[in-house]
Structure 1
């Protein structure tokens, strides 16, 4: 017999967590708020949802196991104090009965939860493959249009390149033609200016030649007149020189004669004095 040691019996009905209370897990809600749309393909998003459901399933299973252990410990402890007057064997029998009853109920709840989760998982898998097939059919149906759009895009690029090349060639030809025209115009202008310059130079040169020729003739005539004057002056000078020479001869003769006369006069004077 287990004796009462003065401890009060616990009121099971007032307990916050009565024995055998289990947290029944409900399947994931289908009306859960959807996440924000992003740029990922729909198939990837469905796989992400499937993995999220698998994680939730694992968490629910772990919670069921944890609840089973907690409830088992609570029941074992509470049943020890339900009735102090019972014999030990009766207490253990009741504990085993309650334990087996709670365990069977727990197993049923767990089976129900697992069935719901498996059903939800199968539905998600079926939806995933259904959407996958739909995506595949859409891709197959759109493949020709995609290929056509790609070919059209590349043909547009090639056409744009051809047009650009043609425009560049046209611009190059126009530029070369403009350069050639400018070259011809500059050459014509240069030739015209050269002809004008040449004509002006020839006119100026002719006028200068005529002027210089005239000046040369004037200088020649002046030179000839000066030369004539020089010749005349030279002849006059030679005449004057002859005249001077004659005068010098005359002066010398006069001087000799005068000296002789002086000598004769002196001699006469001396003779007279004697």
Structure 2
């Protein structure tokens, strides 16, 4: 830096050089994404510029949709120290998990009051806490169902867990096994059920707040003696959620009617 120096006698020396040695402190990242099941988040601070002195920086949290002591807890230490030569430091935040289903929530961590340093961007970082359990998830509650051939209609339950505040749609379709299927307009003889295609005609819709719907399958009683036969009821292409990993589908067994074929 170029400037002038005023002496005690009132004389001025021009074109004198001054050197200001600054240490610059900021967060390493402007944004963090953390799972609610994680126990800790280490937020990294960095320092550049002049590193010959010890620098200090105050650090604090600012509530957003996430709240201190219910969703997170900052480290008791409210100041971070950089020793001579040190370029990186961290400050730990504890993430508090609960059993409630919530949307993602955010809070901020803020730097202020630097000592032997100055702030630079970003001096605020945002932390978003996500809970995978909150995602709306559809599933069939058990892997197998049995039904008599003369039942007429079979209603397979479809359940939804997690966030149910929005609508959700999912296709419930059938897949042929040992039982043979037919489409609704076909001749029903020698078929065991009416198939549900994997397209828009097989959509099951959940309204806001709904947790259970049914997938209707028509079972055909052809009055012929047959061994037990099976087919699959499956879920696919969800909109507004995801399909659960445990039971994405179910096997349906059509039980033998011992009277069929007897005279």
With normalisation by structure 2, the TM-score equals: 0.22
Higher strand share: 2
Q: Report 1 or 2 for greater relative contact order, CA contacts < 8 Å, sequence distance ≥ 6.
A: 1
With normalisation by structure 1, the TM-score equals: 0.21
Higher helix share: 1
Larger-gyration structure (1/2): 1
